[in-house]
Amino acid sequence: MKVFVQCLPFSTERVVALRGRADDIERCLREVFSILEQTPPRGQMCFYDPYNFDENLSSEYGLLKKMKKF
């Protein structure tokens, strides 16, 4: 599991990348969701808008360079 340090542009969201066997990924997701359900958000949440995609910085926040603005 890798949690990218850089938030998505103009948001408070981050990309989490998982890889491995399907049962391991499922177990990891269940644990992450359990922790998130028990932890209140800190500060104001600002959701990602794909319009703000920045190809030059996409590798820093975990998105693929082939994505395009809508």
Q: Where are the alpha helices (DSSP H) in the chain?
A: 22-38, 58-61
Report the domain count for the chain. 1
Q: Domain residues for 48?
A: 2-61
**Does residue 66 belong to any structural domain of this protein?**
no
Please compute the mean of the pLDDT values over residues 26-37 and round it to a whole number: 95
Please compute the mean of the pLDDT values over residues 40-44 and round it to a whole number: 90
69 has a pLDDT exceeding 70: no
Contact predicate 51/69, CB 8 Å: yes
**Does residue 70 belong to any structural domain of this protein?**
no
**Does residue 36 belong to any structural domain of this protein?**
yes
**Does residue 67 belong to any structural domain of this protein?**
no
70 has a pLDDT exceeding 70: no
**Does residue 27 belong to any structural domain of this protein?**
yes
**Does residue 56 belong to any structural domain of this protein?**
yes
**Does residue 54 belong to any structural domain of this protein?**
yes
Pick the closest to residue 11 from 61, 69, 67 (CA basis): 61
The Cα–Cα gap between 15 and 26 comes to 17
Q: Within 13 A of 39's CA, how many CA atoms are on the CB side? A: 9
Band of pLDDT at residue 37, cut at 50, 70 and 90: very high
